[in-house]
Amino acid sequence: MALDTVDPIAWARPLFQIDDDAPIYLDGNSLGMLPRRSLERVTEVVTEEWGRRLVRSWGSWVDLPTDVGDLLATHLLGAAPGQTVVSDATTVNLYKLASAALDARPGRSVVVSDRANFPTDRYLLQGLAQARGMELRLVDFPDLGGPDPSLLRPHLGTETALVSLSHVDYRSGALADMGAINELIHASGALSLWDLCHSVGAVPIELDRTETDLAAGCTYKYLNGGPGSPAFLYVRQELQRSLRQPIWGWFGQADQFAMGQGYNPLPSIARFQTGSPSIVGIALVEAGTGLLAEIGIEAIRAKSLELTSFLIDLYDSWLAPLGLELATPRDPARRGSQVCLRHPDAYRICRVLVSEAAVIADFRAPDRLRFGCAAPTTRFVDVYDAMLRLRKVVQGGQYMSIDPEPEQVT
Ligand SMILES: *Cc1c(COP(=O)(O)O)cnc(C)c1O
Give the tens place of pLDDT for each residue, 134-184.
Answer: 999 999 999 888 999 999 999 999 999 999 999 999 999 999 999 999 999
Ligand 1 atom having least distance to the Cα of 91: 7
Specify whether 310 is located in the same domain as 248. Answer: no
Specify whether 82 is located in the same domain as 23. Answer: no
Q: Which of 294, 311, 342 is the last residue of a domain?
A: 294
Q: Is 95 a catalytic residue?
A: no
Using CA atoms, how far residue 330 sits from 164, 264, 312, in Å, is 25, 50, 8
Give the tens place of pLDDT for each residue, 288-303.
Answer: 999 999 999 999 999 9
Q: Which of 239, 268, 294 is the last residue of a domain?
A: 294
- The verdict on the CB of residue 218 being under 6 Å from ligand 1 is yes
| Residue 12 contacts residue 291 (beta carbons within 8 Å) | yes
> How confident is the model over 251-261, as a mean pLDDT?
93
Give the tens place of pLDDT for each residue, 345-354.
Answer: 999 999 999 9
Specify whether 330 is located in the same domain as 343. Answer: yes
Give the tens place of pLDDT for each residue, 185-228.
Answer: 999 999 999 999 999 999 999 999 999 999 999 999 999 999 99
Catalytic residue, candidates 370, 380, 382, 399: 370
Cα gap 44→261, rounded to integer Å: 37
CATH number for position 322:
3.90.1150.10
* Higher pLDDT, residue 406 or 241: 241
What is the reported pLDDT for 112?
Answer: 98
Give the tens place of pLDDT for each residue, 93-123.
Answer: 999 999 999 999 999 999 999 999 999 999 9
Structurally, the chain folds into a number of domains equal to 2
| Cα radius of gyration (the chain) | 22
Residue 130 CB: number of other CB atoms within 10 A? Answer: 11
Specify whether 93 is located in the same domain as 128. Answer: yes
Pairing relation of β-strands 135-139 and 160-166? Answer: unpaired
Ligand 1 atom having least distance to the Cα of 121: 11
- The verdict on the CB of residue 215 being under 6 Å from ligand 1 is no
Is residue 65 in some structural domain?
yes
Contacts by 348-355 with C-beta closer than 8 Å and gap 24+? 348/399, 348/400, 348/402, 348/404, 349/390, 349/393, 349/394, 349/399, 350/410, 351/399, 351/402, 352/393, 352/398, 352/399, 352/402, 353/386, 353/389, 353/390, 353/393, 354/23
What is the reported pLDDT for 135?
Answer: 98
Number of H helices, E strands in the chain: 12, 13
Is residue 242 in some structural domain?
yes
Q: Which of 250, 277, 294 is the last residue of a domain?
A: 294
Distance from residue 265's CA to the centre of ligand 1 (Å):
27
Give the tens place of pLDDT for each residue, 58-86.
Answer: 999 999 999 999 999 999 999 999 999 99
Bridge partners, residue 16, by sequence: 35
Name the pLDDT band for 405 (thresholds 50, 70, 90).
confident
Name the pLDDT band for 130 (thresholds 50, 70, 90).
very high
Question: String of b and e for 198-207 (b: at least 16 CB within 10 Å)?
Answer: bbbbbbebeb
Give the tens place of pLDDT for each residue, 319-347.
Answer: 999 999 999 999 999 999 999 999 999 99
Q: Which of 66, 61, 55 is nearest to 273 (CA)?
A: 66
Q: Which domain holds residue 369?
A: 2-30+297-395
> For atom 15 of ligand 1, which residue has the closest CA?
197
- The verdict on the CB of residue 197 being under 6 Å from ligand 1 is yes
What is the reported pLDDT for 408?
Answer: 73
Specify whether 187 is located in the same domain as 230. Answer: yes
What is the reported pLDDT for 295?
Answer: 98
Residue 269 CB: number of other CB atoms within 10 A? Answer: 25
What is the reported pLDDT for 404?
Answer: 82
Give the tens place of pLDDT for each residue, 264-280.
Answer: 999 999 999 999 999 99
Q: φ, ψ for residue 319 (rounded to 5)?
A: -105, -30
What is the reported pLDDT for 318?
Answer: 98
- The verdict on the CB of residue 120 being under 6 Å from ligand 1 is yes
What is the reported pLDDT for 5?
Answer: 97
Ligand 1 atom having least distance to the Cα of 228: 8
Is residue 405 in some structural domain?
no
- The verdict on the CB of residue 170 being under 6 Å from ligand 1 is yes
